[in-house]
Amino acid sequence: MESQYKNSNNGGIESGGANTTYGRGSEVAVANKKSFRGWDFVLRVLALALCLAAAVVLGVNKQNTTVPVSLVPTLPPVNVPVTAKFHYLSAFTYLVVANAIACAYAAVSLLLALANKGGKKGISLVIMILDLAMVALLFSAIGASLAVGLIGYKGNSHVRWAKVCNVFGRFCNQVAASIGLTGAAAGIFFLLVILIVFNLHKRC
């Protein structure tokens, strides 16, 4: 009787230990999923804010100044008023539009991420592909704006294009700030892609 009681008691302990181990594993998995969702939410909010800030900084960018123009060498130069706006250059317009698209997508992706609480693989793959598309879009806009910005900053002696950032200093500074914010947003979207890939790999 005693041996039967001991065997049954030991079996109960072993069974309880197995259940405890399994329960801890489930708790860790759930905790990891919640942690991933938390970081995913924070990063998407940050990407939205950066894209919005980049679009606004460049969208309101405007500077009025005067440039001395010498009509006759013997006469004093005439001050001519000039204005710089972002939509005067297609590359800067593209940067504003790209940030607006990425900002709208970040808002939509937040809703998709919240709706995908179960972590469905299909929805995660769609979000990952769209995140990659935003990375490509933002980096292409950064490249186009940097090309034009460098010409404005240094000019191009081969084609006799004079630099203009010495005249429109504030305008060029805001363009640089917008490009920097866009680069940060693109980096966050790329980080989100890495996190989704890592999470999908862990679940396989």
Domain boundaries of the chain, sorted by first residue = 33-203
Which parts of the chain are beta strand (E)?
Answer: 62-69, 78-85
Per-residue pLDDT of the chain (204 residues; tens, 9 = 90+): 445 544 444 544 444 444 444 445 444 444 455 555 678 889 999 999 999 999 999 999 999 988 887 777 777 888 888 899 999 999 999 999 999 999 999 999 988 888 776 667 788 889 999 999 999 999 999 999 999 999 999 988 888 888 889 899 999 999 999 999 999 999 999 999 998 888 877 766
Q: What is the Cα Rg of the chain in Å? A: 29
CA atoms within 13 A on the CB side of 60: 6
Q: For 55-204, where are the E strands, in sequence order?
A: 62-69, 78-85
pTM, rounded to two decimals = 0.78
Q: What is the DSSP letter of 168?
A: S
CB atoms within 10 A of CB 148: 16
- What amino acid occupies position 111? L
